[in-house]
A and B are shown apart, each in its own frame.
Chain A
Amino acid sequence: MGVSEVTMGLGQWSLQLRADTPQSVIDQLSGGWFGHIAITMGRPGPTLLGDGLLSTSRYVGVITRLTLGGSGTGGTSAPKSIGGPGMAFWLGDAEDKGDVLETAVNLTAQPFASIIPLLLPSSGAVTANFISTSVPGTLTQSYRWVSPRSAISSVCSLMGGSGVNAVEWRVNGDATLDAGLVSELYSTAPQVAIVRRSSGADPAMRALRGTIQNAVDVDDYTTRSIVLAGSTPTVGSADLATVPYNDLHGNALKLTRVDTQPSTAAGNATAAAGVNLALYNAPRNAVQLSTDEFDIKGTTLRAGGYVWVQDPDSGLVDITQEIHLRGEILNPVLLRCIQLDWPLLRGHGAAYRDGGGNWTDLTDYLVPESGPSTVWVGATNRKLIGQ
């Protein structure tokens, strides 16, 4: 299955180990819950790099699943597999379990840079790396009985704008947190262009070719957002300035979304309503690209980064943008890579780190995968549902 990275999400990973993997290695993995896997290009060399792998690897994940046993063909053992979520797990898992804030964190007109450290796990599972001092405004809010992931995501939503001024967080492979403006976390000058016909590299741009599927829906379209904030509750609302769609009788479409947020401070009800409206006030546009380009993840493309996408047949053209790529002038749409799925191909390496910081090279036991990589891109101010 490989790796699935999701911007501001848990993501997941899995890899298969050969049936003849030494039992000693299996025993280590069996007892290695919540240990880490580092995936690299080529053999990782953990003996040499040690924990340096955490910050230099292509991907680091947490072991929470293990499949062992079974029989393969000819009486042999079946391959084993291990898997789990990405490093965001340490802020809170999919069920919002984690180092829950049991003591209320009460914020009164506090700036972003001073808020985030207060919400990090008290256990020290994730420490601060880059915390932006450029996020404008202050926040008055209280967080309790929620995971750090939920709390930090809430702060980012309430204090962020749209596009490159949105505020996000990212957990790095070494369990450090970066939080700030999108323009601070990711390069807004794309180095990758996804096009239907041509692939190759220019000095400053790489073109990826593949099949493009553009899925558009309005399943979550909202014209009015209401947030019931606090315990009383306090009603906050936000409306679209203009609604371009009508019902059967010619009346302006009315789709009101009501969201109950007891942990949101009453004073933030309107802002929270605005955040929800911004998420759902336009057709949801998700472009899926499948490409056979090997190792598309790297310095050129990562989840959260910006890409150019041009596919006139799918309507993915923006004539206000212009790039010169491989002998042609293109007018692509600027989108963000929201999710990046890629297989572990022959040539990748992996290493296991146990809770004590001991490393084991798993490269010789990996079962290489095949198939395309998939890049999910969305508009800069939209998020995929469920992430």
Chain B
Amino acid sequence: MQINNITNPGITPVDGDQIEIIYDNGSIERKQYTSPIEPSVSTPSIDPCEFLIDIGTFYDRFGTAKLPVLISTDSTVKAIIQDLNIRKWVDMSRPDVAQGVNYIASVVPEVTSSLKTSILTTPVSIEENRALRKLYFS
């Protein structure tokens, strides 16, 4: 492949110069030169909803322990639930979410250690935050 600078013959082309590219198969391109963009290393895109979960599906993570949690008379558990209910989603990356679940597990026996770990460490699936994605991120 041969590149000729038509605007400034013999000079390495810069953006805006008219160039002529002659390919080995005989094809010729005449166009304005544009600096090539170097291929970039692919980086994962940032998903703003990666750790966000809808309120309803967060409660569903408690499984059969959900109702015992909701009817708990412990004042701190009630306050945690109240605090959750006024939000648009639960951000699983927040430390106070883990603190809240840990406290609930300490007073509601149905929330076992393995259930608590499952609630806090299971990655949020698309189905678990579909509502907040549609409402707030589309």
Partners in one complex: no
Q: Show the binding face of B for A, using Cβ within 8 Å.
A: none
